[in-house]
Amino acid sequence: MREPLRIPRSLRRPLAVGVARVVHVAGALLTPMTSRVPWTGLTAGALRHSGFMLPSAPSAVVKPAVREFPSTPVDWYMHLALHASEHDRVQLSTVRVPTTFVAGRWDVLAGTSALREAAERIPDARYVELRGSHFLSMEQPRAVHAELLALLDRAAA
């Protein structure tokens, strides 16, 4: 898979917040359209090849998983994104339980560098980067399952 365009770190947050603000304002216009998208094999296939999700996620899994997203108004998602951007950085160095961060190499919503840095702030945390997007559980279900089992083993030890 071809590496996506990398946005310089200094521009990521301002760009993401700016896009969220624009889409938040446009949400009232977008929601009537997005809520009417029929989630068929064709639309699931289009999403799988959009770059937002990888083609490795089977249409039969994608279709029911994403069917509910358009039922929520677009401006509400952007409301959440904007308020999350205002949240202070969380103090992770005091976390003392087994922790694993699983990141998708091509995740446009949760960048790998932020997850890697979070893992570095927790003693003995594990960071795993998989070939996938924000939808790793659909794209790499066996690998995600294996990481969950490994985390349970670490917690039990």
**pLDDT per residue as tens digits for the range 59-82:** 888 888 877 777 788 888 888 888
Tell if the pTM clears 0.85, that is, is over it: no
- In one-letter notation, the amino acid at residue 15 is L
Between CA 116 and CA 112 the distance in angstroms is 6
Residue written as tokens 């083609």? 55
Cβ atoms of 133 and 54 closer than 8 Å: yes
pLDDT at 152: 97
